[in-house]
């Protein structure tokens, strides 16, 4: 009797441990992060190819090495958890991606302007288009070694040209 009681207690504790580590449980509520929605950050996005992301007054997305001044400052607004909208403060254009994977500046906020933000293992962030995919693969925001934007179908998450470091504006 004592042994079966001991086994029952061990069994219940084991089930409780499994429930805490990720097994589905009826008492678990879905997580809610409303405090993260609508968050606005002013940053300079520094690419691992040594360029700052900028959108000029004609709506061209490109890289610049010049970090002084307001042209490289972007406003990053959280739409949902992990989804951001990037807007150039100086020109007022939103960074958007076309269905073909071309980056451009949009005067108005549309669904093409949403990017999934992911923090990579090396500390850099990647930004993938939330709406457009190429043969099932995400298309990323990227600057090549000359500061020109790379087309989305030619980008992968592991490429260094897709890695950006959000730098605080001082």
CA 160 to each of CA 67, 103, 135, 137: distance values in angstroms, whole numbers, following the listed order = 20, 17, 21, 17
Pair 104, 60: CB distance under 8 Å = yes
pLDDT band at 81 (very low <50, low <70, confident <90, very high): confident
Residue 89 CA to residue 91 CA, distance in Å, equals 6
Res 77: pLDDT: 93
Res 33: pLDDT: 63
136's tokens: 């099932």
Domain encompassing residue 101: 36-168
Pair 167, 46: CB distance under 8 Å = yes
Reported as a single tens digit per residue, the pLDDT across 18-64 is: 665 555 555 666 666 666 667 888 999 999 999 999 999 999 999 99
Mean pLDDT of 112-131: 93
Q: 16 lies in a domain? A: no
Q: In this structure, what CATH number is given to the domain that contains residue 122? A: 2.80.10.50
Reported as a single tens digit per residue, the pLDDT across 87-99 is: 999 999 999 999 9
CA 103 vs. chain centroid, Å, equals 16
Q: 9 lies in a domain? A: no
Q: 28 lies in a domain? A: no
Residue 132 CA to residue 97 CA, distance in Å, equals 8
Q: What is the mean pLDDT of the chain?
A: 85
Q: 124 lies in a domain? A: yes
Q: How many domains does the chain have?
A: 1
Q: 147 lies in a domain? A: yes
């Amino acid at each position: 009797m004592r042994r079966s009681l001991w086994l029952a207690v061990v069994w219940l504790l084991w089930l409780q441990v499994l429930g805490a580590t990720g097994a589905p449980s009826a008492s678990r509520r879905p997580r809610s992060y409303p405090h993260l929605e609508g968050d606005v950050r002013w940053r300079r996005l520094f690419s691992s190819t040594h360029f700052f992301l900028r959108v000029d007054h004609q709506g061209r997305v490109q890289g610049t090495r010049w970090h002084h001044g307001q042209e490289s400052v972007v406003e990053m607004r959280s739409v949902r958890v992990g989804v951001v909208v990037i807007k150039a403060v100086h020109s007022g254009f939103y960074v958007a991606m076309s269905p073909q994977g071309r980056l451009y500046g949009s005067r108005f906020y549309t669904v093409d302007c949403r990017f999934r933000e992911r923090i990579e293992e090396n500390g850099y962030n990647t930004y993938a288009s939330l709406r457009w995919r190429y043969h099932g693969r995400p298309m990323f925001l990227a600057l090549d070694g000359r500061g020109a934007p790379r087309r989305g179908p030619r980008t992968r998450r592991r490429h260094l040209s897709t890695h950006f470091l959000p730098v605080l504006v001082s």
